[in-house]
Amino acid sequence: MIVDFHSHFYPKSYIDEIKKGGGYAKLETDTQGRMIMQYVGDYNVVAGGHVNLEDRLKAMKDCGVDMQVITLTTPGVEREEAERGI
């Protein structure tokens, strides 16, 4: 059994909250049409598998991965104000 222990995911509720703006992170679209999670000092390109479980499952199958442990990628919720409810 192949288990991927380093796999990131953005839950829809997290993406929806970041889209509202006014927090530590913000979402932008780059010149190639990709969604970018932008925050102080760094950014992440939001790939299909970061937000779409169907894309993730296909990639896992294509690569022979049986199971993943998914975690929130950067920036973490600890960077936001508690009032945001993220």
The string of pLDDT tens digits covering residues 40-68 is 888 999 988 899 999 999 999 999 999 99
* Tokens representing residue 81 in the block: 């104000």
Domain ranges of the chain: 3-76
pLDDT of residue 31: 95
Helices and strands, number each (H, E), in the chain: 3, 5
- The residue ranking higher by pLDDT, 79 or 45, is 45
CA distances to 22, 50, 76, 80 from 33, in Å:
22, 16, 24, 26
pTM of the model: 0.75
pLDDT digits over 32-45, tens only? 999 999 988 889 99
Closest alpha carbon to 9 in 40, 41, 53: 53
Residue 75 has pLDDT above 90, yes or no: no
